[in-house]
A = this chain, B = another copy of it.
C-alpha cells in the first residue's frame, strides 16, 4: 500500500463517488454493490456537512472508539434499504450498554458498503471518523480483523435490524461473537447492522490498518482520471496498491452455491491477449480467495485478489460476474500482519477450506 501518498483530512460530497468505487476495489469481490452506500453517504454529507478524518495515530489514547458495519448478504441490502437510523441505533445501543459515549467512529472493513456506512454514521452523529480499518480490504467473518491479533474483544457488541429489534452479545471469544451474530443476522433477514470491538484510541492506533479510507478515495480517483485521460485504469489501480496484473481473461463458466449464509463459488476464465491459451479458476467465498492458473496456485488470501473490467477498471463483485465478462485480475499485498502465522490462521486459505499453502502476490 502506498503510504507515502497524502491522506485526506475530510470526506466531502465530491469524494463520495471515488470512495465508493475504491471501496469496491478493496472489496476484492465482496462487500456488495457500493452504489447504495454512496447514495446514503451523499445524503448524510449534504445534510450534516463533510466528515472529519483523523489518522489512527492522532486519536487520543483514551478516546471511546465505536465501529459500525453491515453484517450479512450485501445483495439483500439492494432490496431492503437499511434505515439510516439503524446505524446510529446500533452505536447508541452499545454505548448505553457500556455506559460510555463514543468520541470517534471507526470502520471495521474498508471494502464495499462497509466503507461508506461509517461515513453516514459519523456525519449523522457529528463525530470524527478514523482514517483506517481493521482488514485493509474485505473479509467475510467478523473475527477476521487485525484487532483480533492484538487480543481486542469483539464483544460486547450490538446488532440491530430494520424492524426495530436489537441485541447485545457478550462472548467468550471473537469466533463465538461471529457465530451468535451470524445466527441473529440470518434470522433478522440476512442483513443486520452491528457495532462491535469497542476500544480505546490507543487500541485503535495500535491495531488499525491506517489510511484505508483515503486509499479508497485515491483508488476511485485513479480510475476516474485514467478514464478521462484515456489511460489504462487497471494499471493505475495496480500501481496505487503496489500490486500487479496477473491475468486477463473472459469468464467462461461460473458455479455458485449459497451455504451457511455465504456466497461461495468458482469462476473459470479463458485467457485473452498476453494470456491467450491459459485457463484460470478463481474460487470465492463472498471475497475472492484463490486463483489457479493452468493448475498452479498463483494467488491466495490474505493478499488482495481484485477483478476489474479490463477496459474501464470498474471493480466486479463476485455476484456481478457474468459469462463473457472480460476481466483483469490484479493481485496486491495485504497488510503485513496478515502474513504472520497468527494472521494466516485467521484469514489464510486453509481457514477458508482450501488445503494449500498461502501464496504471496510477488511469488510468481
Contact = CB atoms under 8 A, between A and B. Distances in A.
Contact of A165 (B164, B167, B180, B187): B180
A77 interface: no
A176 to B, nearest CB: 5
A172 B161 CA distance: 10
A153 to B, nearest CB: 12
Contacts of A184: 180, 183-184
Contact of A167 (B164, B169, B172, B182): B169
Contact of A172 (B97, B163, B168, B186): B163
A188 interface: yes
A97 B97 CA distance: 7
Interface in A137-177: 163-172, 176
A264 interface: no
A337 interface: no
Contacts of A325: none
B187 A180 contact: yes
A239 interface: no
Given A165-B169, A165-B180, A166-B170, 11 more contacts: A163-B172, A163-B176, A164-B172, A165-B170, A165-B172, A167-B168, A167-B169, A180-B184, A180-B188, A182-B187, A183-B186
Contacts of A163: 172, 176
Nearest to A171: B165
A166 B169 contact: yes
Nearest to A179: B187
Nearest to A169: B167
A184 B179 CA distance: 9
23 contacts: A97-B97, A97-B168, A163-B172, A163-B176, A164-B171, A164-B172, A165-B169, A165-B176, A165-B180, A166-B169, A166-B170, A166-B171, A167-B168, A167-B169, A167-B170, A167-B180, A179-B187, A180-B187, A182-B187, A183-B183, A183-B184, A183-B187, A184-B184
A335 to B, nearest CB: 29
Contacts of A183: 183-184, 186-187
A160 to B, nearest CB: 9
A196 B120 CA distance: 34
A33 B164 CA distance: 37
A286 to B, nearest CB: 19
A90 B162 CA distance: 27
List 5 tightest A-B contacts by C-beta distance, closest first. Answer: A183-B187, A168-B168, A164-B172, A183-B183, A165-B171
Nearest to A182: B187
Nearest to A158: B168
A154 to B, nearest CB: 12
Contacts of A168: 97, 167-168
A179 B97 CA distance: 22
Contacts of A172: 163-165
Contacts of A97: 97, 168
